[in-house]
Amino acid sequence: MFNELSAINTKPEPFEFYTAAELWTNEHTSEKMLEYHLNESVDAASRNHAFINRSSEWIINKFNLNVNSKVIDFGCGPGLYTSRFAKCGAEVTGIDFSKRSLNYAQKEADNKNFKINYIHTNYLEYEPNEKYDLITMIMCDFTVLSPAQRKVLLTKFYKLLKPGGSILLDVYSNNFYNLKQEQAVYEFNMLNNFWSINDYYCFLNTFKYENEKLVLDMYTIYDKSGKRCVYNWLQCFSEQSIKKEFDENNLAITELYSNVSGDTYSSEGSEFAIVAHKK
Is 254 part of any domain? yes
The mean per-residue pLDDT over the stretch 85-102 comes to 95
Is 20 part of any domain? no
Name the pLDDT band for 37 (thresholds 50, 70, 90): low
Of 234, 252, 270, the domain-final residue: 234
Is 264 part of any domain? yes
Weakest mean pLDDT among 48-57, 105-114, 207-216, 238-247: 48-57
Residues 203 and 81 in one domain: no
Amino acid at 58: W
Residues 144 and 206 in one domain: no
Residues 220 and 250 in one domain: no
Residues 258 and 153 in one domain: yes
Residues 251 and 201 in one domain: no
Residues 85 and 180 in one domain: no
Q: What is the pLDDT of residue 45?
A: 44
Is 73 part of any domain? yes
Residues 137 and 225 in one domain: no
For the segment 153-184, what is each residue's pLDDT rounded down to a tens digit?
A: 999 999 999 999 999 999 999 999 999 999 99
Q: What is the pLDDT of residue 48?
A: 78
Domain around 201? 2-9+176-234
Is 116 part of any domain? yes
The mean per-residue pLDDT over the stretch 97-101 comes to 90
**Number of folded domains in the chain?**
2
Residues 41 and 151 in one domain: yes
For the segment 4-25, what is each residue's pLDDT rounded down to a tens digit?
A: 999 999 999 999 999 987 777 7
Residues 37 and 91 in one domain: yes
CATH code of 265's domain: 3.40.50.150
The fraction of the chain above a pLDDT of 70, given in percent, is 96
Residues 94 and 215 in one domain: no
Residues 159 and 114 in one domain: yes
The mean per-residue pLDDT over the stretch 192-219 comes to 96
Q: What is the pLDDT of residue 31?
A: 84
Residues 142 and 246 in one domain: yes
For the segment 210-269, what is each residue's pLDDT rounded down to a tens digit?
A: 999 999 999 999 999 999 999 999 999 999 999 999 999 999 999 999 999 999 999 999
The mean per-residue pLDDT over the stretch 119-123 comes to 93
User: How would you write the chain as a 3-class SS string?
Assistant: CHHHHHHHCCCCCCCCCCCHHHHHCCHHHHHHHHHHHHCCCCCCCCCCHHHHHHHHHHHHHHCCCCCCCEEEEECCCCCCCHHHHHHCCCEEEEEECCHHHHHHHHHHHHHCCCCEEEEECCHHHCCCCCCEEEEEECCCHHHHCCHHHHHHHHHHHHHHEEEEEEEEEEEEEHHHHHHCCCEEEEEECHHHHCCCCCCCEEEEEEEEECCCCEEEEEEEEEECCEEEEEEEEEEEECHHHHHHHHHCCCEEEEEEECCCCCCECCCCCCEEEEEEEEC
